[in-house]
Each structure stands twice: as C-alpha cells, then as structure tokens.
Amino acid sequence: MTPETITVDYLIIGAGATGMAFADALLGESGHTMAVVDRHHAPGGHWTMSYPFVRLHGPSNVYGVHSRAMPSDSTGASLASRNEVLDYYDRIMRDVLVASGRVTYLPMHDIADVHAGRPAIARARSLVNGATTRIVVRKRVVDASYVNVTVPAMKRPGYDVEDGVPVVPVNQLVELGGAPERFTIIGAGKTGLDACLWLLNQGVDPDRIRWIAPRDAWLVNRSHEGAVSQFRELTSLHGHDSVGDAIAALEELGLVIRRDPAVTPSAFRCATVSSTELEQLRRIENVVRMGRVRRIDSAGVVLEAGTVATPPGTVYIDCSADGLTQKPPRPVFSDGAITVQTLLPCLVAPSAAVIAKLEALDLDDTTRNALAPPAPNPRAARDLLSFYGTRMERLHRWSGTPALFDWLCGSRLSAALFDLHEMADPDNRAAASAIAAHLDDVLKRDDVTV
C-alpha cells in the first residue's frame, strides 16, 4: 500500500509539555504548517501515564502554552491536577492547534526514520494498525522529546526484586486495597514526596511509613513571601563567596527549605513544597539514608551502605524514576533541525515557547543560539546557584532583544521569569547580569559539592 503523504513546514516529534508549548507559540507567531507526531493516545506526554493523585508542583501559570490560561491560573497557589492538565492539553490540541487548519496531529505514531535534506523526509508509523505516513518537511524537524520526563510507569525499577515481594509503582498505590500493615516509599524526589503526602492525607499513621531517601534534597519553598521581590532578594547574594554560604543565604531568605533541619541536603531536583506540606513530611521519622536500593527480598532491603530488615505486611511503593532527564546539551538551532531543551532549569514549557518565538523572529541561527543556550537540569545542591543564576542571566539576555522582551512581557508564561518587568530599567538589567556572573564565579571557584 502506498503511504499517505503530507507536506508541512515543521515536523514536531512529541506532544508533551515541550511539544505543545512549541507548537502553540509557533502557530501564534507565524503562518507555518506543522505535523505533531506522538506515541501516546492523547497529548500531554508523561501526564498520560502519571499516578492519579499527581499535581503540578508549581503554579500553573508557568506551565502549559502561551496562548491559553489553565483553569487554575486564577486561583493563586492552587496546583493543577492531572485531570485538569490532560483536559487542558486535549482542548489546546483540538480547539487551538488542529482547529487552525495548519496542524496535523498523529497520535499513537512513532517516527520510523528521518532523512535530512531540503526538504527532509520522515516516516511516521501507526502503533495501532502499522500504516505509514510519509511526511515532507520544508523547514525543520523539531525534536521535542530530547529532554523528557520519566515517571515510574515508564520503566522497571533499577534494582533486583525477589519473586513474590510486593513492589508496585506509585500508580498502583490507589489500587492496593486491603489496608497494608506498612508502607516503604522508595525515592526522595517529587514522586516520593507526593506518595508520602498522599498516604498521610489518607490518614495513614506516619509510624507505618518508612521512607528510603538516597539523598536529602533542597526544596523550593512554594510558600515564600519575601519582603521584596525575588530579583531584589537574589542581588543580596553578592556578599557570599562560597557555595555553602550562598546556599545558606538562600535558606535564610526563605527561598529554599530542607525536610530535616539536622541534615544538610546534598541534592536539588527542583521539587517544591509548601510550609503545610513540609510540616506533614516531617511527621515521618523513619527515614533510611543508606544510598540507593540494590535488592529487595523477603528479608529486607539491600542498599549501597547496608541492609534494613522488613517487618511482615510491608508493601513497597517504587518512586525511583529519574524524573527530569539529564542529556548532553546540543545547539538548539541547527540546519534543518531544532532540538528543544530547557533554557530555564526545570521549566520546559516557557523554554519551548521562547524557542518557538525565536524561530519566528527574523534572526539567523547563530543569533538564535546565542539567545538560547541550554541550561541543564540540576542534580546536586550546588546547582541551586545555577538554578537562580540562570534566571538572572536570562532576564538580562532576553530583555536586550526588544521583540522577544515585549512578547515575554505579554505572555502568561513570563511568570517563570520573576520580576521581568523590572528589566525595563537599565540599572536593573545590569544588576541581574552582575549577580548571575557572581554566582557563576562562585561555582567555578568552589569545587566542593555541598
């Protein structure tokens, strides 16, 4: 059978948060046509496979797409639920992208191969009936899946499990039934936090919860209400000349917090908590800090630094997926291709929208890449300095391009760049650049991971 052929300006691989934000911004800023190809049955990427009780960890106005608000945008600190996110992306796909007449959406399809050229030729194969669609791409192939999110439902645990030991992904936590005697949560990232909070909110006694946390992590304080703007607060870091001192200052300002006041965190993965959630998490006293899990058997858990016995009636909840992936940075713009990456650490949607806006501007790729250097997602505690420093640097860099700055000021996603409006003042632009450079210098001088 001869494959169906479609011709578009852009092929976008992936309909998760990254692909959707890119497609929406490019649609609004240009007259181009697009094909969006995705393996999932519905737009939303990892949200289609996430656990039922997951919510955004940050305000919804730094998520989604440029053109349409999320319902919870107007409710302050309210965090969008999984159902809201999926419904939102479904509506964006149907009512904005496809309804424009310029976007072809191919769900449940995989890209079989791409032949570079002008035009590029790609093949999309249906994962349902095996039919192939030939896609002629006049301008660029956009990889919106390069920096993805991994949730437990997408992978097997990275440790051995003896047959018969009850280890389940966090998705199945709501389906257990039978009131297990004890729960062991494996993983201290966002998913682990969510699992602990869900159990506590269901009335589980904290003494029945054991939490295996390979590394304590710094947490962004979602309840922070500073006396001045965050931009002003961060400029006060000029007086701190070591990584440890700068992190201590961030904690003193209330921007970041730790779960256990007696333990200095060694990690940072962008997870956020409110002060109320932190109080709940501190009720769990049985925290195992012995490294990663190597094996679980009927006797207990073998970890990197020892073994812990397991009482009868324990169910293990796997929350160990890596979440935000770490990929080697690439130039975002290249001949015939765009590799969408985070320009603001951990903030995929604003990053993708900015990349699309840059593509729509009359710029060459050298200039575009100078405005869009990838910012790797953080892992270690010292990455807190680049997490905040990169935002300051981007405030300075992007406010120097009027067309981009004006667009950002009018975008709902600009909340990701706190105090953007202050960059209209040249003195503030200089201050943002100076604090970004200072934090970068501190990181280069101080090689000690704290």
Q: Which secondary-structure segment (H or E) carries 433?
A: helix 426-445
Among 181-185, 222-226, 330-334, name the one with the lowest average pLDDT: 222-226
Residues 39-64: tens digit of each pLDDT: 999 999 999 999 999 999 888 888 99
Closest CA to 354 of 336, 324, 384, 375: 375
- pLDDT for 359 equals 98
Are β-strands 256-257 and 287-288 bridged in parallel, bridged antiparallel, or unpaired?
unpaired
* List of E strands, 239-387: 256-257, 267-273, 287-288, 293-296, 300-303, 306-309, 314-318, 323-324, 333-334, 337-339
Residue 215: which pLDDT band, with cuts at 50, 70 and 90?
very high
What domains can you pick out in the chain, each with its CATH number? 4-148+325-377 (3.50.50.60), 152-216+269-323 (3.50.50.60), 224-257+380-450 (no CATH)
Radius of gyration of the chain (CA): 23
Residue 323: which pLDDT band, with cuts at 50, 70 and 90?
low
CA distance 340 to 333: 9
Average pLDDT over every residue of 340-360: 96
State yes or no: pLDDT of 38 exceeds 60.
yes
Tokens describing residue 110: 């995989």
State yes or no: pLDDT of 448 exceeds 90.
no
The residue to which tokens 């769900």 are assigned = 107
Q: Which secondary-structure segment (H or E) carries 112?
A: strand 109-115
- pLDDT for 450 equals 45
